[in-house]
């Protein structure tokens, strides 16, 4: 049987069974639903995009996968080249992996070993309160092969701070010689509650990281490809390491990439094998994933997605900007993300089924009702999502 994610299986409501998906719509046997979640924020082009399907089919006609250990291939070479020109600054060195969580692990490994390779002991990672960077846990620790993991033996720890300048400055003042990196979901913390914060925090973080040679990591698994209204937050403040996933492959195949700048790459570049990055997921650089990512980026640029996202944000502000209710704590809007935070999670009990019956798929969590729509959504479809949200608060009790 299937063990579903984040679910108490004993009390699980049967999930809606999808029999087809097209554009922004999911189809069950008896309902047509606008997907307001973009399948956990990744299907930015919608479902069944003919160009993406063709890219996968064409590549599958050649081969689906070969490993990158001792082999390479054209789709992965082309994707690395494309990312080199598509991403800002000298974020040019692409390490591919199969999911966002793994790509974050790779970024953290890079930061730790960057320091080890420079002969420094810097065991601490600085992160944000309410951060979410994935679900992986201890795979390397239970392994027992010194040949793979020798570079990561030192004791490691994590310090969390709020997104406040004073906390940032204080921790750098006290601990800078212990910090190997600062990792953030820039501007928008997704799974931690769609929390939005100001760019000034990231600008100051960049200054402090420069001052103390601490690596700045942007986890843009959720925010990348336009979600905040910026192509990448990395276009505004340049990190040393950028992590992308989700929308990278348009939601067709799980894949991710950890992109390092020249400074980080150089610290691994050596005649000494022990300075190499010891990581290698089986499916890194999967040919189908690379082919569909290339096509997705082509569509993103050609169809001027940033303009579409600006339009989504405009409609979101018009429809939800001033919305209030005694049950609502706050409404937050940024780019292609709208979040209604309620005062108590019980306020949202039953909302998913309410939305289903009105033709919208929603997946509220904790105190958060939100939309993260595919960018191809039409105005009336987006308005229908917001009307459904508002109707929940206006319904007779
Ligand atoms: C910011 C961020 N980082 C990492 C991840 C993990 O990505 P994946 O689910 O592909 O492992 C997520 C997933 O939601 C995320 O939002």
Q: Hey, which bits of 114-178 come out as E strands?
A: 124-128, 157-161
* pLDDT less than 50: residues of the chain: none
**Per the domain annotation, does 323 fall within a domain?**
yes
Say if residue 147 is in the same domain as residue 234: yes
Among 302, 318, 337, the domain boundary falls at 302
**Per the domain annotation, does 56 fall within a domain?**
no
**Per the domain annotation, does 57 fall within a domain?**
no
Say if residue 327 is in the same domain as residue 246: no
Cα(278) to centroid(ligand 1), Å: 22
Residue whose tokens read 């940032």: 168
Say if residue 354 is in the same domain as residue 338: yes
Active site residues: 6, 132, 219, 246
Among 302, 331, 349, the domain boundary falls at 302
Q: Which residues line ligand 1 (CB under 6 A)?
A: 99-101, 104, 132-134, 185, 190-191, 219, 221-222, 245
Instruction: Give pLDDT, residue 276.
Output: 97
Instruction: Give pLDDT, residue 64.
Output: 98
Q: Using most ligand atoms within 8 A of CB, pick from 101, 108, 139, 363 the residue to mutate for ligand 1.
A: 101
Residue whose tokens read 């492959």: 249
Render pLDDT for 276-309 as a digit per residue (tens, 0 to 9). 999 999 999 999 999 999 999 999 999 999 999 9
Instruction: Give pLDDT, residue 397.
Output: 62
Say if residue 228 is in the same domain as residue 135: yes
* CATH code of 351's domain: 3.90.1150.10
Q: Using most ligand atoms within 8 A of CB, pick from 220, 232, 245, 256 the residue to mutate for ligand 1.
A: 245
Cα(20) to centroid(ligand 1), Å: 25
C-alpha 172 chain-centroid distance: 26
Nearest-angstrom CA–CA distance, 53 and 2: 27
Say if residue 335 is in the same domain as residue 207: no
Say if residue 28 is in the same domain as residue 155: no
Handedness of CA 301, 307, 311, 312 (dihedral sign): positive
Global pTM value: 0.97
**Per the domain annotation, does 2 fall within a domain?**
no
Nearest-angstrom CA–CA distance, 241 and 264: 8
Among residues 344, 343, 336, 304, which one has the least CA distance to residue 320? 336
Handedness of CA 322, 327, 330, 334 (dihedral sign): negative
**Per the domain annotation, does 389 fall within a domain?**
yes
Say if residue 164 is in the same domain as residue 293: yes
Terminal Cα distance for the chain, rounded: 37
Instruction: Give pLDDT, residue 151.
Output: 77
Nearest-angstrom CA–CA distance, 266 and 105: 20
Say if residue 234 is in the same domain as residue 104: yes
Instruction: Give pLDDT, residue 376.
Output: 98
**Per the domain annotation, does 138 fall within a domain?**
yes
Return all residues near 135 (Cβ < 8 A) that are at least 6 apart: 101
Atom 9 (ligand 1) nearest CA = 100
Say if residue 131 is in the same domain as residue 14: no
* CATH code of 214's domain: 3.40.640.10
Atom 10 (ligand 1) nearest CA = 100
Say if residue 116 is in the same domain as residue 246: yes
**Domain enclosing residue 133, as ranges:** 63-302
Render pLDDT for 12-55 as a digit per residue (tens, 0 to 9). 999 999 999 999 999 999 999 999 999 999 999 999 999 999 99
SS3 85: helix
Q: Using most ligand atoms within 8 A of CB, pick from 196, 222, 289 the residue to mutate for ligand 1.
A: 222
Nearest-angstrom CA–CA distance, 388 and 357: 10
Cα(391) to centroid(ligand 1), Å: 31
Among 240, 269, 302, the domain boundary falls at 302
Atom 13 (ligand 1) nearest CA = 134
Instruction: Give pLDDT, residue 366.
Output: 96
Q: Which atom of ligand 1 is nearest to the CA of 40?
A: 14
Q: How many domains does the chain have?
A: 2
Say if residue 248 is in the same domain as residue 295: yes
Check residue 286 and give left, alpha or beta (phi > 0: left; psi -120 to 50: alpha). beta
Q: What count of residues does the chain have?
A: 397
Handedness of CA 48, 53, 56, 60 (dihedral sign): positive
Say if residue 197 is in the same domain as residue 140: yes
């Amino acid at each position: 049987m299937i063990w579903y994610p984040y679910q108490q299986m004993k009390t699980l409501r049967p999930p809606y069974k999808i029999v087809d998906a097209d554009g922004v719509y999911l189809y069950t046997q008896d309902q047509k639903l606008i997907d307001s979640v973009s399948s956990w924020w990744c299907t930015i082009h919608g479902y069944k995009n003919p160009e993406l399907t063709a890219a996968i089919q064409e590549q599958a006609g050649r081969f689906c996968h070969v490993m990158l250990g001792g082999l390479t291939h054209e789709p992965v070479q082309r994707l690395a080249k494309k990312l080199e020109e598509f991403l800002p600054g000298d974020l040019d060195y692409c390490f591919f992996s199969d999911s966002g969580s793994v790509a974050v692990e790779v970024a953290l490994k890079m930061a730790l070993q960057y320091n080890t390779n420079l002969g420094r002991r810097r065991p601490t990672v600085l992160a944000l309160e309410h951060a979410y960077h994935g679900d992986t846990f201890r795979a390397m620790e239970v392994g027992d092969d010194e040949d793979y993991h020798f570079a990561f033996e030192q004791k490691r720890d994590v310090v969390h701070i709020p997104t406040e300048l004073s906390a940032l400055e204080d921790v750098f003042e006290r601990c800078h010689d212990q910090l190997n990196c600062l990792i953030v979901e820039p501007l928008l913390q997704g799974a931690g509650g769609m929390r939005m914060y100001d760019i000034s925090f990231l600008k100051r973080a960049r200054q402090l990281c420069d001052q103390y040679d601490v690596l700045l990591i942007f986890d843009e698994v959720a925010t990348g490809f336009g979600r905040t209204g910026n192509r990448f937050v990395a276009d505004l403040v340049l990190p040393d390491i950028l992590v992308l996933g989700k929308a990278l492959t348009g939601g067709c195949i799980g894949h991710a990439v950890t992109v390092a700048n020249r400074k980080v790459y150089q610290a691994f570049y050596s005649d000494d094998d022990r300075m190499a990055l010891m990581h290698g997921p089986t499916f890194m650089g999967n040919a189908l994933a690379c082919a569909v990512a290339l096509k997705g980026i082509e569509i993103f640029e050609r169809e001027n997605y940033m303009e579409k996202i600006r339009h989504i944000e405009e409609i979101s502000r018009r429809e939800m900007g001033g919305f209030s209710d005694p049950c609502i704590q706050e409404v937050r809007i940024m780019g292609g993300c709208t979040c209604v935070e309620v005062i108590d999670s019980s306020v949202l009990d039953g909302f998913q089924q309410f939305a289903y019956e009105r033709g919208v798929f929603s997946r509220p969590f904790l105190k958060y009702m939100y939309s993260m729509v595919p960018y191809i959504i039409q105005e009336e479809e987006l308005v229908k999502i917001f009307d459904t949200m508002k109707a929940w608060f206006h319904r007779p009790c």
